[in-house]
Structure formats: C-alpha cells, structure tokens
C-alpha cells in the first residue's frame, strides 16, 4: 500500500512540472532563440576617382641607383635648377627657397606645374591635374637628374640654355620712338625704326661688338647710315647719320638711347 501511494505522489509531481513548462530534471535550460538577423544594407557604389597623371616608360634605366644628398645644406645651391629631359619627359626647375623648387613637368607635350620639396631626406615632387595628383622624387647623379615615379626611373640630362641674342628685340625711346631688331641670318639683322612719326625700314650687320647698317628715308628716298652699340645689358645707343652738315662741313648725327621693352 505504501509503495503504491509513493508512486502516485511522484506521478502527480512530474505532471505538475510539465504543466508549468519547467524542463524535466537533468535536461538543463533550453537554448535561447537567436534574434532575427538584421537586413544587410546595400553597399554604396565606389566613388569615381580621376586617374593620376602617368609617366611614359623611360627610354633607358640607369645602371645604378641614384645618390641623394643627405641634407639640402650639403648640396650646392640650385643643384636641381635648369631644364632636364629625356626622350619623352622633361622638367624645368627653379630654386625658390633652400628647400623648395618650382617648375614645370612636360609629359608627351603636355605641361603641368610642379613643386619639389626637401622632405624625409629626399627631394619629393608633386604635380596636380584637376583633382588627381602625381608624385615623384628627383636626385642628382653626376651630371644627370634621376626622376623616379610609380616604380619607373628616368635619367634626364641637362639642356643647355639657348644663347641670348645681344641685339634682337623690341626697344623704346623718348617721344614714342620705337626700334625693332631681328636676326635674319648669321651676323645679319633687319627691322624698323619709328622716329618722329616716320617709320624707316633698316638692315645691318654685326661688326666689332656693334651693329652698322643703312636705312632708306621714306621722305627723300635717300640712304642713311646708322650704328648701334650696347650701353648696358638692357639698352642700346642708336646713332643715325643725317644728311645735314654743320658749319664746318662735318657730318651731323642724331644719337638716341633705346631701352628694351
């Protein structure tokens, strides 16, 4: 009787636990239900970027790596100044401060303004094309300039400056006078002279550090001789031999200074 009564009580206890939703003994707690996954936001399209200016393949690769001066103070002032070029790339640089050059980089006949600064123990340059930028380094190696960009190395050689013509140019004098000279052949010049509202066509040649020549007077049709000498780097003294003579029978001259425009 007692065992039957105990079994009846155990059955009632198990039924009560199941009714309240509690887990049976020995089974542990039920695993929680994972939260629903959040919807994945569509990724925004990548912003369009303007490609950086690309240098063409170098004509030749230097045999050795460039040597960079350890400090700008140890480099000769303006060591990068001048025009440097190879077959398809050229760069012109001018020293602005001890640590800054400004200039122009030309790629396939297109020119871009560039600046070159001493940063992190190297001369580092940048060019800008709209929103895009290109970067490079430059260094002297003997008589050449080594330019490195995007893993490509260019050996640029110095380009000699064009010799300045000592006479050719445009000059102005007092009272609206104007003198124009241009080289027409070796040691030969042509041009015009505006003097007292009269325009003369002239020609001449270089002789012993001066110009000598002739011009035709449009009023009389006669030939007059003239000469020009350099009085300073930016001015000429133009002398015209006139037809009139002084009281002693000596030739009369008209001399006038012309300054370069």
Is the same domain home to 86 and 188? no
Using pLDDT thresholds of 50, 70 and 90, give the confidence band for residue 64.
very low
pLDDT at 134: 87
Q: What are the two backbone dihedrals, phi and then psi, of residue 2, each rounded to the nearest 5 degrees?
A: -65, -40
Beta bridge partners of 211: 206, 228
What is the pLDDT averaged over residues 65-86?
Answer: 65
The 3-state DSSP class for residue 61 equals: coil
The residue that leads in pLDDT, 89 or 21, is: 89
Is the same domain home to 208 and 126? no
Q: For residue 55, what is the domain's CATH number?
A: 2.40.128
Is the same domain home to 181 and 209? yes
pLDDT score of 221 more than 70 = yes
What is the pLDDT averaged over residues 187-206?
Answer: 89
Using pLDDT thresholds of 50, 70 and 90, give the confidence band for residue 20.
very low
pLDDT score of 46 more than 70 = no
pLDDT score of 65 more than 50 = no
177: Cβ contacts below 8 Å, ≥ 6 apart:
193, 194, 195, 196, 256, 258
What is the Rg, in whole angstroms, of the alpha carbon atoms belonging to the chain? 44
Is the same domain home to 197 and 140? no
Out of 140, 161, 182, a domain closes at: 161
How far is residue 190 from each of residues 3, 9, 81, 174, 222, measured CA to CA in Å?
Answer: 141, 134, 35, 22, 18
The structure tokens listed for 240 are 């015209």
pLDDT score of 212 more than 50 = yes
Domain that holds residue 225: 169-260
Q: Where are the alpha helices (DSSP H) in the chain?
A: 2-19
pLDDT at 49: 52
pLDDT score of 231 more than 50 = yes
Is the same domain home to 155 and 179? no
**Structural domains counted in the chain:** 2
What is the pLDDT averaged over residues 223-231?
Answer: 90
Is the same domain home to 137 and 198? no
pLDDT at 123: 94
pLDDT score of 84 more than 90 = yes
Out of 99, 126, 161, a domain closes at: 161
Please state, for a pLDDT cut of 70, what percent of the chain lies above it. Answer: 65
CB–CB of 56/152 below 8 Å?
Answer: no
pLDDT tens, residue by residue, 136-193: 999 999 989 999 998 899 999 998 765 678 888 899 998 899 999 988 877 789 999 9
pLDDT score of 69 more than 50 = no
pLDDT at 136: 93
Out of 161, 178, 202, a domain closes at: 161
The residue that leads in pLDDT, 108 or 76, is: 108
């Amino acid at each position: 009787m007692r065992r039957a009564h105990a079994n009846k009580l155990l059955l009632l206890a198990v039924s009560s636990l199941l009714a309240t939703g509690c887990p049976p003994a020995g089974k542990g707690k039920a695993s929680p239900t994972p939260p629903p996954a959040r919807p994945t936001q569509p990724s925004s399209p990548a912003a369009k970027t303007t490609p950086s200016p690309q240098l063409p393949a170098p004509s030749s690769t230097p045999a050795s790596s460039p040597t960079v001066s350890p400090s700008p103070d140890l480099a000769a002032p303006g060591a990068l100044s001048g025009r440097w070029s190879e077959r398809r790339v050229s760069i012109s640089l001018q020293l602005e401060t001890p640590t800054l050059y400004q200039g122009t980089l030309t790629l396939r006949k297109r020119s871009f303004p560039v600046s070159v600064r001493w940063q992190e123990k190297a001369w580092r340059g940048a060019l800008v094309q709209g929103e895009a930028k290109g970067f490079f380094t430059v260094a002297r190696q003997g008589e050449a300039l080594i330019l490195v960009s995007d893993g490509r190395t260019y050996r640029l050689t110095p380009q000699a400056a064009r010799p300045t013509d000592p006479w050719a140019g445009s000059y102005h004098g007092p009272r609206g006078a104007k003198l124009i000279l241009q080289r027409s052949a070796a040691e030969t010049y042509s041009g015009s002279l505006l003097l007292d509202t009269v325009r003369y066509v002239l020609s001449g040649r270089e002789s012993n550090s001066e110009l000598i020549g002739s011009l035709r007077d449009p009023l009389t049709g006669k030939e007059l001789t003239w000469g020009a000498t350099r009085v300073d780097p930016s001015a000429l003294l133009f002398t015209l031999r006139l037809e009139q003579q002084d009281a002693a029978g000596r030739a009369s001259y008209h001399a006038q200074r012309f300054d370069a425009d």
